[in-house]
Structure 1
Amino acid sequence: MSVYVDDAVTLWRGRRWAHMMADTLDELHAMAARLGIPRRAFQDKRSGAHYDLTEELRAQALEQGAVAISRHRDRDQVRAIIRLARSQWSGAADGERSL
């Protein structure tokens, strides 16, 4: 089982951001907790269950064992991980999941 972080390429509010996804929601939430990310930051989205990470948090996640994936080099793997993240969506309206 693994936690994955993609390239920090999304520019928002002057910073670059990455997505953190995992094979299971338990692994995803556990890594977020180790990084000090509050559960309210969880993105329960139809596009895929994930957390957004700054470049700094991405580096910390990698130090703690997350697997780096590149949307440019690892396209098949990234697509598979995104399919898995989409399957983890609760089915509730985005952001309305009770935790």
Structure 2
Amino acid sequence: MTVYVDDVRHQFGRMVMCHMWADSLEELLVMADAIGVQRKWLQVPPKASWVHFDIALSKKAQALKLGAVLTDKYGPLEHLARQKGDEAKLEQITQIRTQRAG
């Protein structure tokens, strides 16, 4: 089980936000509690594409200190593809990352 944060930077008022999600809802909520993110900010389908929190960069830093794994902007897509067993999407993400690294 793992908690993830991505490297996106979305402006929200004066804050800069990123995403935090996990392999399980329980683990996500434990991390949210640990870094002081209110559970009322949990985003879930159908209003969101996947279960996650938008968090400020200061909260991201705390999550990383507590063991969250940093991923790129494709992390959420990869997470959804793994949940669905979508091997074609996983391969596509791998190809994009490879092209960007080269």
Shorter-chain TM-score range:
0.7 to 0.9
1:14–1:82 distance in 2 versus 1, CA, 3 Å: farther
- Once the two structures are superposed, residues 31-88 of structure 1 have per-residue CA deviations (whole angstroms, 9 ceiling, x without a partner) of 00111112111111331100111010000000000000011xxx3x5422144689xx
Alignment map for 1:41-52 (pairs within 5 Å): 41-46=41-46, 47-52=49-54
Query: Which runs of 5 or more structure 2 residues have no equivalent in the other structure?
Result: 85-102
Percent identical pairs in the alignment equals 34
Tell me which residue corresponds to 1:80.
78
With a CA cutoff of 8 Å and minimum separation of 6, indicate the structure with the bigger relative contact order.
1
TM-score (norm 2): 0.71
Could you say if the C-alpha distance between residues 26 and 85 of structure 1 is closer, same or farther in structure 2, counting changes exceeding 3 Å? Answer: farther
TM-score normalised over the length of structure 1: 0.73
1:1-21 CA-to-partner distances (Å, cap 9, x unmatched) read: 100001141111022101101
Letter in 1 for 2:60: R
Contact 2:42 2:53 in 1 (8 A): yes
Unaligned runs of 5+ in 1: 87-99
How many residue pairs get aligned? The number is: 82
Kindly provide the amino acid, as one letter, of the partner of residue 79 in structure 2: I
Alpha-carbon distance in 2 for matches of 1:2, 1:21 = 9
